[in-house]
Amino acid sequence: MQTNEQLFARAQRVIPGGVNSPVRAFRAVGGTPRFIQRAQGAYMWDAEGTKYIDYIGSWGPMILGHGHPAVLEAVAKAAADGFSFGAPTEREIELAEAIIAQVPSVEQVRLVSSGTEAGMSALRLARGATGRSKIVKFEGCYHGHADALLVKAGSGLATFGFPTSAGVPPEVVQHTLVLEYNKVQQLEAAFSEHGREMACVMIEPIAGNMNFVRASVPFMTRLRELCTAHGVLLVFDEVMTGFRVALGSAQSVYAGLIPGFKPDMSVFGKVIGGGMPLAAFGGTRDVMSQLAPLGPVYQAGTLSGNPVATACGLATLKEIAKPGFFEALGARTRSLVDGLTAVARQAGVPMVGDSEGGMFGFFFADALPQNYGVVMGTDKERFNRFFHGMLDRGVYLAPALYEAGFVSAAHTEADVAATVAAAAEALKR
């Protein structure tokens, strides 16, 4: 058996930083990343055989837990029929239909392989469809690592203290305006100055890359009004929230709060692939018809709509559409957050938390942050101590304070109780 430490040392010789995605390296929290060997249900086991209750769920996709039998069966059957054809399949239509059935703002959808690809393609399409160049994003919102969107993003960039990546020339981001999340006045000022030059505003409606921060209802209402008034496309990045916070995604949550609310375009990933590389972007038929081969906006991919990935996604969407699924998941997630904040209160530690469906976040602070600046000011040292205290007790939280957490349908009340008991101990440190 090789230890996590031995594997990490070996990995660092052949992979930059020993990982294929920066936040996995534990740089924010320190220590040795766990090399995962297998997972089942709500649990993962590392190379040393240590068992963890998993609250990352592959950073969102594993909403059913690991190794769900219906998903395994669908994947095995699809794999036996062929891994990739580079030609259309019926399953792609079925997945597109399944997405459209739950998200009324999406009339057509194109499948791709990653959230980054989906965000990048949505951006090109928004620019092509409007004939405009400027785009707006918000501090702390991460839309994948395409150049134009890698400005003041949260997630890994926040972890490493680089607001923007090196290798992104200033000319490439000269059309990207970055505003503060939840600041209505800034939004109004930006629209009055640049509204007619903007192609789109891209937003994580519930930001999961600065932990868990909701767009307020007044902010979202005004954003929708301004986009409509200026002919700017409102693009919801639902890579994290899509089919995770509700069956209709975060846009259904806002539609319940703001009558008639709809974004113009949406970006999905994670849950729609059930753990396989699959993502999508969609919108009105009008906008989507600008895409090649119908229109002039080019976008393509050898593995787009991959038959095994679509089987995995379809089987996952079928399970989560069952009656009562989100009610149960939401209740379990709320009970976790309530439990964590209750033991923190008992320990005299300021902690606040929030959740929607199966996505949650918590901060060592007195009040829930409304934007990135405030998130950055919450107690990072305390978070890091807590992270390790939980890991030592068999609870695997996201290894950075800037990331949301995820509960799956496989987590039981007993898992939540064990997690809360671990937290009570960890908070004593």
**φ/ψ bin of 140: left (φ > 0), alpha (ψ from -120 to 50), beta (otherwise):** left
- Look at the block and give the residue holding tokens 């192609």: 199
Q: What is the CA radius of gyration of the chain?
A: 21
The least distance separating ligand HOZ from the CB of residue 56, rounded to whole angstroms, comes to 8
The least distance separating ligand HOZ from the CB of residue 403, rounded to whole angstroms, comes to 5
Cβ count near 347 (within 10 Å): 14
Q: Which of 35, 52, 59, 261 binds ligand HOZ (CB under 6 A)?
A: 59
Based on the residue annotation, tell me whether 262 is a catalytic residue of this protein: no
The least distance separating ligand HOZ from the CB of residue 142, rounded to whole angstroms, comes to 6
Based on the residue annotation, tell me whether 270 is a catalytic residue of this protein: yes
130 contributes a contact to ligand HOZ by CB under 6 A:
no
396 contributes a contact to ligand HOZ by CB under 6 A:
no
Dihedral angle over CA of 97, 98, 103, 104, nearest 10: 40
23 contributes a contact to ligand HOZ by CB under 6 A:
yes
241 contributes a contact to ligand HOZ by CB under 6 A:
no
Tell me whether residue 46 or residue 403 sits nearer to ligand HOZ (CB atom).
Answer: 403
- What six digits make up the tokens of 256? 């319940």
Based on the residue annotation, tell me whether 237 is a catalytic residue of this protein: yes
209 contributes a contact to ligand HOZ by CB under 6 A:
yes
Tell me whether residue 21 or residue 192 sits nearer to ligand HOZ (CB atom).
Answer: 21
Spatial distance between the Cα atoms of 309 and 332, rounded to a whole number of angstroms: 28
In the chain, the largest separation of any two C-alpha atoms, in whole Å, equals 62
Size of the site for ligand HOZ (CB under 6 A): 7
Q: DSSP letters along 124-141, please? A: HHHHHHHT--EEEEETT-
Closest CB to ligand HOZ: residue number: 21
Tell me whether residue 105 or residue 384 sits nearer to ligand HOZ (CB atom).
Answer: 384
- What six digits make up the tokens of 186? 């800034």
The least distance separating ligand HOZ from the CB of residue 137, rounded to whole angstroms, comes to 15
114 contributes a contact to ligand HOZ by CB under 6 A:
no
- Is the separation of the CB atoms in 123 and 129 below 8 Å? no
- Is the separation of the CB atoms in 182 and 216 below 8 Å? yes
CA distances from 323 to 169, 279, 355 (A): 49, 25, 20
The least distance separating ligand HOZ from the CB of residue 323, rounded to whole angstroms, comes to 31
55 contributes a contact to ligand HOZ by CB under 6 A:
no
Considering the candidates 46, 237, 264, 415, report the single residue annotated as catalytic: 237
251 contributes a contact to ligand HOZ by CB under 6 A:
no
Query: Coil, strand or helix: which one is 376?
Result: helix
54 contributes a contact to ligand HOZ by CB under 6 A:
no
Residues 6+ apart with CB under 8 A from 399: 23, 24, 26, 28, 29, 33, 387
210 contributes a contact to ligand HOZ by CB under 6 A:
no
Q: Which of 139, 237, 403, 415 binds ligand HOZ (CB under 6 A)?
A: 403
155 contributes a contact to ligand HOZ by CB under 6 A:
yes
The region of 19-27, 31-39, 283-291, 313-321 touching ligand HOZ under the rule CB under 6 A is: 19-27
Alpha helices in 289-398 (DSSP H): 307-320, 325-346, 372-376, 380-392
Residues 6+ apart with CB under 8 A from 60: 208, 239, 240, 244, 270, 271, 359, 404, 406
The least distance separating ligand HOZ from the CB of residue 239, rounded to whole angstroms, comes to 9
Enumerate binding residues for ligand HOZ (CB under 6 A).
Answer: 21, 23-24, 59, 155, 209, 403
Catalytic residue set: 142, 237, 270
